[in-house]
Structure 1
Amino acid sequence: MKRTKISAMLLTIAMIMSLAACGGNSGNSASSGAASSSAEVTPTAYSIAALKGPTAMGLVKLMQDAKTGESLSNQYTFSLAASADEVTPKLIQGELDMACVPANLAAVLYQKTEGQIETLAVNTLGVLYIVENGNAVQSMSDLRGMTIVAAGKGSTPEYALRYLLSENGVDPDKDVTIDWKSEHSECVAALASGEATVALLPQPFVTVAQNKLGDLRVALDLTEEWNKLDNGSSLITGVIVARKEVVDANPAAVKAFLQDYAASVDWVNGNVADAAQLIGSYDIVDAAVAEKALPNCNIVCITGSEMKQKLSGYLSVLFDQNSKSVGGALPEDDFYFGA
């Protein structure tokens, strides 16, 4: 891995630090596959990007600790982006060491870079919902004949929606009209203006929309709809990945990062009000919205063998539906760090 001047200085002067023990598994977080607290690690500087949404929300405690100079296993710098399109070129070109991206995109990048992307953890489970300004939608089959506004074409929202429609006997190309927007905020605007009555939205945008439209209701939880199929997989929204050369340069430091990340997730899930204030201060989403949305954001830090089991099952479902959604082939074992 190409060292910056900062990381070189750290490697020269920093003391060898013991890995901090991972925080307790409160909420939905998990820490399987992380390094033991007795291991030692040479601190490393990492540049990490997250998308404004649940993945960034789970990182806020770590972001704040890095900003205030708290004692951490490594040195971290963070950047936030509105979409994965802003992040992936920088990751591939080496400007970023790690990035939070949609789960299927991680597999696409693995294929595109010929195995040079490695998944470190699942950081967000299902956060997708069908919302309606009305009461017509009680099941996936009720969407037949309707127009659904949505964002996220080519990533988790599209593939999850198409899969669930198909499994419920609704042809996503013939039986419904999906009006794709470039951002989730556009979907909220369409609902608010009356342009649309049904939308596919993730948290925290569900809460944003409900704050604008008091009668807007959650018609369907796509995680529940996925679980009803009992297909041996879980609906996964996001993961955090790293460049393989970053991982290979210092695997112990990467494991230490995962412990820091898991501790941040545990804190966010266990301190919702305080976490919401931090989320607001980083302009990820308004603090009041964050406080309402956090319990439904399914923020986790699942690593190791459990990460591989959940993610490989999800990618297999997508592959069977549309191989292009995961880059044309399923990733090999080296895609899953620590599994």
Structure 2
Amino acid sequence: MRRIIALILALALFTVMFVGCTQKPIQEESKSEAKMNEEEKTDEPKEMEPVALKVSSPGGPLAVSLVKMFKEKPSLGENVEVSYEAVKSPDVMAAQIIKGEADFAVIPTNLVAKLHNKGVPYKLAASTVWGVLYVASSEEIEGWESLKGKEIYTIGRGLTPDILLRYLLTKNGLDPEKDVTIKYLAGPQELSGFMITGKASIAVVPEPMLSAVLMKNKDVKVVLDVQEEWEKITGNSSYPQSSLIVKNELIENHPEIVEKFLTKYEESIAWVNENPAEAGKYVEELEIGLKAVLAQKAIPGSNLKYVDASEARDAIEEFLKVLVDFSAESIGGELPKDELYFQR
């Protein structure tokens, strides 16, 4: 009997020891599997944090170049939300950029240089508006020599239209201070009003105001295409009047978003050129400041063309050199440094 009891106790002790020994590796294996599962989870791609972006542009041809994007709001990626704004005042536009409120902006190229020289952290990604200026007249004008002794109206002393007028007069043998009288008006609206009513007979008029003048005053004709005259003097097909800038922070943190935007913007410009009537409807629907018929007529003369910064750089520098020679302040005192240009 004692032997039986001893045998039972021995078997019980053996069972306890066996169970204890087998449980430990199982627990360790479970912990190991859990650790591996946790590591696998960390390797899974994380969902991108929401990104809110703002695209800004003044009205007119600059906003027209973006109108397809304004209207259709193409996706720039998951969790990327984009707002678009056509800003009426150039001062408000500049203030937005200085404060870093715009992630993408299309602005005059000389303003790009001026802001860069002030240390505003944006890069020039592309030039997109290649000249919108024309000399229009209700008088018979044949070439620059015919302007001698005439009054020529333009907007703002020291602004791009004024500088280009003076440059081309000089290159064509006329002294802007002696051979002509340049009259300055406050803005494109006042200038177009003067031409429509006949208060001015010769003026440097930008699109889309030019189309408005031609529609309302049949006596006015385009007598000189400033873009063609620029090409005759410089050899460059035109001058990059306006360009796209991108905030440095966005380039550094989200290069994939920047690339998508540039692709969509290039597509937008191509679409506008190919579909001026539909683009005009978009402009009026979005209340960018132009009626559909006027926008449609102005698009061909707005010279919209997407050119990456690396390809446009020579033309940009040629343009800025002319501006700095006539008015250094117009670009902030000096030509911008290499770091201004975005390499796509």
| Coarse TM-score class (shorter-chain normalised) | 0.7 to 0.9
Q: Describe the shift of the 1:327–1:71 C-alpha distance in structure 2 as closer, same or farther (beyond 3 A).
A: closer
**Aligned counterpart, 1:121:** 126
CA distance in 2, matches of 1:141, 1:327: 33
Aligned mate of 2:82, from 76, 99, 110: 76
**SS of the residue 1:236 aligns to:** coil
Within the candidate set 326, 329, 336, 1:331 is matched to 336
Give the partner amino acid of 1:104: N
The one of 96, 106, 116 aligned to 2:112: 106
Q: Give how far 1:120 is off.
A: 1.4
1:177–1:81 distance in 2 versus 1, CA, 3 Å:
farther
Q: TM-score, normalised by structure 2?
A: 0.80
**Which residue of the other structure, out of 59, 63, 82, is the alignment partner of 1:56?**
63
Q: Which amino acid is the alignment partner of residue 264 of structure 1?
A: S
Alpha-carbon contact 2:127-2:244 (below 8 Å) kept: yes
Segments of 4+ moved more than 4 angstroms: none
Structure 1: how far apart are the matches of 2:253 and 2:183?
A: 44
Of the three residues 66, 84, 94, the one matched with 1:88 is: 94
Determine the C-alpha separation between the residues in 2 that align with 1:141 and 1:117. Answer: 42
**Match runs of 1:271-310 below 5 Å:** 271-284=275-288, 285-310=290-315
Render the CA deviation track for 1:204-240: whole Å, top value 9, x for unaligned.
Answer: 1111011110121001100111111135573221112
- Identify the residue that residue 197 of structure 2 maps to in structure 1: 193
Check whether the contact 2:228–2:237 (CA below 8 A) recurs between aligned residues.
Answer: no
TM-score by length of structure 1 reads 0.81
Q: Contact 1:121–1:240 (CA<8 Å) still a contact in 2?
A: yes
Q: 1:183 to 1:53 in 2, by over 3 A?
A: same
Which protein is richer in helix relative to its size?
A: 2
Q: Which amino acid aligns with 1:207?
A: S
The 2-side partners of 1:150 and 1:293 are apart by 19
* Structure 1 residue 291, shift from structure 2 partner: 1.5
Asked which structure has the greater CA Rg, the reply is 2
CA distance in 1, matches of 2:192, 2:237: 30
| Whole-Å separation in 2 of the counterparts to 1:216 and 1:255 | 44
1:4 — aligned with what? none
- Bigger relative contact order, structure 1 or 2, given CA contacts below 8 A and separation 6+? 1
Secondary structure at the aligned position of 2:343 is classed as: coil
Cα distance in 2 between the residues matched to 1:232 and 1:211: 31
Deviation string 1:232-252 (CA, Å, 9 cap, x unpaired) is 573221112233333333233
1:43–1:208: structure 2 CA closer, same or farther, 3 Å change rule? farther
Residue pairs, 1:12-27, within 5 angstroms: none
Kindly tell me: are residues 153 and 242 of structure 1, through their superposed partners in 2, closer, same or farther at Cα, counting changes over 3 Å? Answer: farther
Q: In angstroms, what is the RMSD of aligned CA positions? A: 2.2
1:164 aligned residue: 168
Identical columns (%): 34
Q: Are the structure 2 counterparts of residues 146 and 287 from structure 1 closer, same or farther at C-alpha, using a change threshold of 3 Å?
A: same
Q: Which amino acid aligns with 2:121?
A: Q
Partners of 1:180 and 1:43 lie apart in 2 by 48
